[in-house]
Amino acid sequence: MNEHDALGAWRPWSLRDHLAAGDPAASRARAEQRYREVDPQVLAWVERTPVTEPEPAGPLAGAPLGVKDVVDLAGVPTRCGSALRADAPPATEDAAIVAAWRKAGAVPVGKTVTTEFAYFSPGPTRNPARLGHTPGGSSSGSAAAVASGQVPVAIGAQTAGSVTRPAAYCGVASLVMTPGRFPTRGVVGLSPTLDAHGVFTATVADLAHAFAALDGRPDGPPVPALPRRVLLWHPHGIGDVDVEMTAAVDRVAHLLTERGVEVDALHAGDRDRELVAAHLTVMAFEAARERPAEVAATDRLSEPLAALLRRGAGLHDEEHLAALAAADRHRRDLLDLLATYDAVIGPAALGPAPAGLRATGDPVLSRPWQVLGLPTVGIPGLRSAEGLPLGLQAVGAPGREERLLATAGGVESVVQAHARPAHPEPARGGAR
């Protein structure tokens, strides 16, 4: 497999295919075979773990599961991609979210690569859609493991854009849950306000199956439904969105309109800039207080993480409270709109995955939604003219993941029916 052998490495494994086969032992064998075939190039895993437990009960029927290495998995060290934890002892028990996935019938098969403490310093993982491009961060290993078909489902965690961005770059679906939807016990986090659980699958339809199982709903996953009304988000003043990404979002909006969906613009004003500023303040302030051991050892951390912790240590309570108040004010306005619209639809990242492996891309398009505490679904299926994945995101009301998954599934069906490269629109030539 060479640097540009995208078709060889990018082969997501649908959770629905696993469920239809109904053979957990065969799925584990498939996972191991695919691991041997592609992981020497993709490098998605920190450690694989032998499966010794009996055939599991539960609606996910033994689905092989990847676990991001900031989440405790019993018997395996949680090293968080950091030299500070190189000698960490094995976790004595599963994190609460891992226990919930086991109860749903998933079977952990190992720990996936994270950036250093889920911040910016990249791990070794490569993007299955184009091996010379970043897979994003920080849940890079989980996104790549799903995109390369090594598992049909994997756990992520998001404080800024750690789930949405790698899913968009790698061409798979993602869900960032409402913060607090499930306990965070056993997860090494950065910010109690912002930290949220995430999950990766091949498609939004797979996400709906996975989340219904995790949530213990006896009525199964929500049926994809074309939305009635959506808000179209073009970010304002917080980053240069690639012209192909802008064209992709506009084309999907046009297709939705053709199907009778009411699509209205989400006016930004200064909201996007204020929310990004609030997110940066909350994250820095809380990270410095959540990770005191790392604050005391900044000389052994990457410079981006050390800078975050140093900035956070210098922030005062009043600045933290002012940032939270700004987020609360905008949250009230957005929730009023989401009472009458099904979701906000917009770009999941500034563009396709940047070339190179020494940086993880920019999470700026996730920061506003994360500080608002709103769930998001990453919708795959679009490609750039060069064949790189372009991801959309749908944003919904807190605690309404089921409705958001149904809406995103309806959008996904439109994308899949009309998938083709997104070509730039000459009228938007001012964007990069």
Helix (H, G, I), strand (E, B) or coil at 173: strand
Q: Return the half-sphere exposure (C-beta side, CA atoms, 13 A cut-off) of residue 414.
A: 23
What the block records as the tokens of 124 is 């070794």
Give the whole-angstrom CA distance, residue 206 versus residue 378. Answer: 12
Which string of b and e fits 85-124 if b means at least 16 CB within 10 Å? beeeeebeebbbbbbbbbbbbbbbbbbbbbbbbbbbbbbe
Judge contact between 342 and 403, C-beta under 8 A. yes
Closest-CA residue to 394 (of 243, 227, 191): 227
Helix (H, G, I), strand (E, B) or coil at 114: coil
First to last CA, the chain: 32
Give the whole-angstrom CA distance, residue 118 versus residue 120. Answer: 7
DSSP code string of 43-99: --EEEE----SPPPPSTTTT-EEEEETTB-BTTBB--TT-GGGTTPPBPSS--HHHH
DSSP code string of 349-399: SSSSPPBBSS-----TTTHHHHHHT--EEEEEEEEETTS-EEEEEEE--TT
Give the whole-angstrom CA distance, residue 207 versus residue 211. Answer: 6
Give the whole-angstrom CA distance, residue 92 versus residue 74. Answer: 5
Judge contact between 51 and 107, C-beta under 8 A. yes
Active site residue ranges: 68, 138, 162
Q: Is the dihedral of CA 338, 260, 169, 17 positive or negative?
A: positive
Judge contact between 65 and 108, C-beta under 8 A. yes
Closest-CA residue to 392 (of 348, 423, 343): 348
Q: How far from the centroid of its chain's Cα atoms is residue 198's Cα? A: 6
Helix (H, G, I), strand (E, B) or coil at 196: strand
Count CB neighbours of 313 within 10 A. Answer: 15
